[in-house]
Structure 1
Amino acid sequence: MIVILNKKFLRIIVAVILLLIIIITGTILYNRKAATSTTTNYATVNRPIERGNENSDYIAFACNVDWGNEVIPEILAILKEKEVKITFFVTGRWVKAFPEMFQEIVKAGHEIGSHGYQHVDYSKLTLDQNKEQIKQTEELIMQYSDKKPVLFAPPSGAYNEYTLISAQELGYKTILWSIDTIDWRQGSTRDVIVKRVIEKPNHRGAIVLMHPMPETAKALPTLIDELQGKNLKVGGVSDVLMD
């Protein structure tokens, strides 16, 4: 009798253990699925935009700002003189640290895009971390601008599926570039920067990436003049995205 009871008890224990294994496995799989998906299906997420309409009359200048305060006034003065409006992608931490400088960009009428809160590798961030970076920056931008940003440029062009999902769900288009000035690299003089841009084919609808570097400011008037000489209008990212 004791043996029979022990066998029944053993079977119950085994059944309970199997049930617990099934429950735990299901929970793990569910959490993994929840961590890698949101209300947006990744297969339907818009991929990063590297260039706009190739039939556009515009070429876009995108200036990523996380530093370079000493150069920004000169760049703004050149753009004002040339009557050109471009897109400035700003980090949230920069806006927070230099609100007066940011307001000068806004007052000048340039398009404002998000560069995330910190200049970190977004391809290594989780879904929640990506969203928080974009949300924080939006809140800061909206403190000094009455227009919600709709363009997002991840630092260094680094992103993962969570970055794209986060941007789309928060109402942003993810922007990269088609022409890189590489103006941050040592040896990137005014002439080198101009050459990198002008010698590229297919300028129509292109997005030119730049930063507030001294040599970039020197190259800016020549770049604008030469591109306009090719019957192109120099503008912001939204200009080249129009049909």
Structure 2
Amino acid sequence: MKKMFVFGFIFVMAFMLVSNPYTSQFISNQKGDLLAVSKPKDALYQEIVSESEKYRVPAQDAKIDPIWKAIPGYNGLEVDTEASYKRMRENGEFDEDKLILKQIKPNVHLKELPPAPIYKGHPDKPMVSFIINVAWGNEYLSDMLATLKKHHVTATFFLEGRWVQKNPELAKMITDAGHEVGNHSFTHPDLKMSSAAKIRQEITKTNEVIKATTGISPVWFAPPSGSYRDEVVTIAAEEKMGTIMWSVDTIDWQKPSPDVLVNRVMSKVHNGAIILMHPTSSTAQSLDRLITSIKEKNLQINTISELFQEERLPKTLPREKIKDNDKN
């Protein structure tokens, strides 16, 4: 008898819950929401969806290449269906010129790769970087800085720690002009042949001097003469620094004529190129023409940090109708 009473009470309560108007309204609303989600908006919306695959560009993950070592990732593109629909809804017809694209981030980023040197940026990014190693050549720096300023170009200067100690005003002049600075060791040794302790000392001491002089903590390291072994790269990574090499060499220390230097670079320049130079007479005389020639190839020139950014450049995007998608 007691069990029957309990079952009866449960049945009555369940009936009341299902039958009350609030429950009915809630269920009705849920059904409406589901129908709204499942029901196609209209033919225009469906056309945007069906056409969107034509404009999709997959994001490319950062990776370790067997030859070029670490390669940064690069954002992809896809149609922002909702935003595109809103732009076309007024006229009610599909219009390619009103499509809105958004950038899609890669799944693997440069900072997530194991320690490896970087010789170039992503091959699809129409940008190059000048890396200027400074351990001497003071007499040419002012002219080079003036030329960079004239063309609104920022570069990455890799400074020897010993040079910074002797020339704090010049080091500050470089950073005050808006350029990026990196670490080029303290005494310019052959790090490939140096002990682990020596490698770390060269890196940390230079970072300390650059920080004390300019207020900036470098995040990029360029081994002197490009000489390194895997342990050099690993120690730099332990010090929170990426190791930078190059893909195009001016060989300006051989004092080539401006024609030779410009032709040497322009015959090899490419998307993502890292172009090595020093403060020399040849580079100072060539720089204006070199910058102009690179820009004529529709390549932007910027710092190493900017070169490695995954964002696509606005001028390279279809119709420049882009919407960043930082959440992806």
TM-score of Structure 1 vs Structure 2, range by shorter chain: 0.7 to 0.9
Between the aligned partners of 1:170 and 1:136, the Cα distance in structure 2 is 11
Matches within 5 A, 1:50-89: 50-89=119-158
Deviation by residue 1:112-148 (Cα, 9 ceiling, x = unmatched): 0100111110001111110000000000010123331
The answer to whether residue 277 in structure 2 is matched with residue 206 in structure 1 is no
Between the aligned partners of 2:189 and 2:180, the Cα distance in structure 1 is 23
**Contact 1:126–1:162 (8 Å) recurs in 2:** no
Matches within 5 A, 1:98-113: 98-113=167-182
Larger Rg: 2
Cα drift, residue 45 of structure 1: 4.2
> What residue in structure 1 maps to residue 262 of structure 2?
194
Between the aligned partners of 2:185 and 2:155, the Cα distance in structure 1 is 18
Cα drift, residue 161 of structure 1: 2.5
3-state secondary structure, aligned to 1:70: helix
> What residue in structure 2 maps to residue 227 of structure 1?
294
Q: More relative contact order in 1 or in 2 (CA 8 Å, sep 6+)? A: 1
- The CA RMSD measured in Å over matched residues stands at 1.1
So what's the TM-score if we normalise by structure 2? Answer: 0.59
So what's the TM-score if we normalise by structure 1? Answer: 0.79
The answer to whether residue 145 in structure 2 is matched with residue 145 in structure 1 is no
Cα drift, residue 160 of structure 1: 1.6
Deviation by residue 1:182-234 (Cα, 9 ceiling, x = unmatched): 00014x11111101110115x11110000000110111011110111111111
- Residue 118 of structure 1: which of 187, 210, 219 is its match? 187
Between the aligned partners of 1:241 and 1:126, the Cα distance in structure 2 is 30
Structure 1: stretches of 5+ with no match in the other structure:
1-43
> What residue in structure 2 maps to residue 177 of structure 1?
246
Between the aligned partners of 1:111 and 1:56, the Cα distance in structure 2 is 20
> What residue in structure 1 maps to residue 283 of structure 2?
216
Between the aligned partners of 2:215 and 2:167, the Cα distance in structure 1 is 18
Structure 2: stretches of 5+ with no match in the other structure:
1-112, 311-328
**Contact 1:113–1:152 (8 Å) recurs in 2:** yes
**Contact 1:150–1:173 (8 Å) recurs in 2:** yes
Deviates more, 1:157-166 or 1:221-230: 157-166
> What residue in structure 2 maps to residue 136 of structure 1?
205
**Contact 1:79–1:85 (8 Å) recurs in 2:** yes
What residue identity is the alignment partner of 2:140? V
**Contact 1:45–1:164 (8 Å) recurs in 2:** no
Between the aligned partners of 2:183 and 2:114, the Cα distance in structure 1 is 19
Query: Identity percentage over the alignment?
Result: 40
**Contact 2:186–2:205 (8 Å) recurs in 1:** yes
What residue identity is the alignment partner of 1:194? V
3-state secondary structure, aligned to 1:184: helix
Deviation by residue 1:55-81 (Cα, 9 ceiling, x = unmatched): 113110000000000000100011111
